[in-house]
Structure 1
Amino acid sequence: MHYDERYTPYIKMTGLLPFVQLVSRSTPNLNVAAVTTLIDRWRPETHSFHLRTGEMTVTLQDVFMITALPIEGKPLCMSTDSEGWRQQMEALIGMSPQEPEVEDGGKKDRVPAGATFTWIAANFAHCPEDADDEVIQRYARVYMWYVISRTIFADGTGKNAPWMWLKALTIFVEYKSTWKE
């Protein structure tokens, strides 16, 4: 997916602009030996790393410093019920993936509530040059959905963007606009 500078004001409203800019540039180079060592020293029962010099815990401040994700404010709470997700998706981004076709046995393929990354890229890769504000906002919303579904909220398949994160972005923007500074 291509990042368009016209998305910036809409992404900035969410507080996710530094994170989106970080992951949109490229995947950072990782020190494989350091990552392997940290994995070996991770103790899930204490949620900390056990190192020669002592214990080390990852804090929320550490996550903020590494990812630029906002950590202050009220928690985002919402229903993750997927009932009617196609209709809600159409209302938010103007379209939704096609319904699966009925097989010979009379059953539909079971599909997750959301869209594949290939479907998102095929339909929203480039925002039209002559797009109005509403269309640009729609493309920005899809771009954020794509980025967070690929990074911090990746599903086990690596192929799908779950519907609930698109819904969360929309609620987050509305909710954040009611916060008092």
Structure 2
Amino acid sequence: MPYLELAGFGSAALTRTFDLRYDLISALVERWRPETHTFHLPCVKCTVTLEDVALQFGLSIDVDAVTSVSAIAEPAALCYSLLEASPGDAESTFSELKFTWLKANFQHLSDNATEEELVCAAQAYIMHIIGGVLMPNSNNNKVHLQYLPLLADLCSVRSYSWGSTVLAMLYRELCRKTKPDAVDMGGYLILLQSWALYRMPFLASVGEEVHGKNKTGRHGQHWGFTHRRYVAVWENRMARRL
């Protein structure tokens, strides 16, 4: 964690995977307008902003743009120099790292791991966060190697605007998803859902304890009392309008 904090990915590393509400995401996609990059809701226009990315996930925004080359001349040599391991020999050519390879080589550290080993593990973990959480492609279990050179010095990683890059990819995926032939959707969907539930709390579900509950074996139960907290929310619905 100290190395992830140093690189500016400490908060992002603490993001926990939770179930995505695809009905909510689909509803937002239907209201997305590519020409303005905003959601057109019945009574307001709104969008995910850089402030949302920075506040919710602690990613740097007001710094240098994330730029890199798409083709790495010697990928194996690059992996050996930074990760001290490579998925292929020195003669092989590849442009992506599989998550399975990253986990197999860096998921477990010994109690007496050296500082070099800790740095390599942190770099590998950040690569997994980038490709698996922050900027995932649809149906892809790999991360592009182009991000690895940016992690060479953990002290300078936070000098790149990862937040704006994440937001730009989310915008791109939202625009792509509005096309009739689009099937899957990539991008930081956790950010989209978290933003929606934070900015519009009335969209939050009533809780998992309600789903699947029926009257079997509960004869005579006062359901109005059992669900009084949700009844109160409903009765106060006019104060919760957008």
Please give the TM-score of this superposition, normalised by the length of structure 1.
0.76
1:67-82 to structure 2, matched below 5 A, reads 67-82=57-72
Structural mapping, 1:46-125, within 5 Å: 46-99=36-89, 112-125=94-107
Structural mapping, 1:2-81, within 5 Å: 8-22=1-15, 26-81=16-71
Query: Per-residue deviation at 1:87?
Result: 0.4
User: Is the partner of 2:143 in helix, strand or coil?
Assistant: strand
Q: Which amino acid aligns with 1:149?
A: G
Indicate if the aligned counterparts of 1:149 and 1:165 stay in contact, CA closer than 8 A.
no
Pick the structure with greater CA Rg: 2
Structure 2's unaligned 5+ residue stretches are 160-242
State the partner residue of 1:5. none
2:120 to 123, 134, 138: 138
Over residues 11-59 of structure 1, what are the superposed CA-to-partner deviations in whole Å (9 max), with x where a residue is unaligned?
A: 111111111112xxx3134333322211111111221101000221222
Q: What amino acid is the match of 2:136?
A: A
Paired position in structure 1 for 2:140:
158
Q: What is the identity, as a one-letter code, of the residue corresponding to 1:130?
A: N
Tell me the SS of whatever aligns to 2:4: helix
Provide the rounded CA distance (Å) in 2 between the counterparts of 1:166 and 1:20.
Answer: 17
Q: Which amino acid aligns with 1:154?
A: P
The residue type equivalent to 1:144 in the other structure is I
* Distance in 2 between residues matched to 1:144 and 1:14, nearest whole Å: 9
Between the two proteins, the alignment pairs up a number of residues equal to 159
| 1:129 matched to 2:122 | no
Find the residue that maps to 1:50 and give its secondary structure: strand
Q: 1:65 to 1:31 in 2, by over 3 A?
A: farther
| Cα distance, 1:52–1:165 mapped onto 2, change above 3 Å | same
Distance 1:31 1:154 in 2: 17
Gaps of 5+ in 1: 1-7, 102-107
**Do 1:76 and 1:172's aligned partners in 2 also have CA atoms closer than 8 Å?**
no
Percent identity of the aligned residues? 27
CA RMSD in angstroms comes to 2.6
Q: Residue 103 of structure 2: SS of its match in structure 1?
A: helix
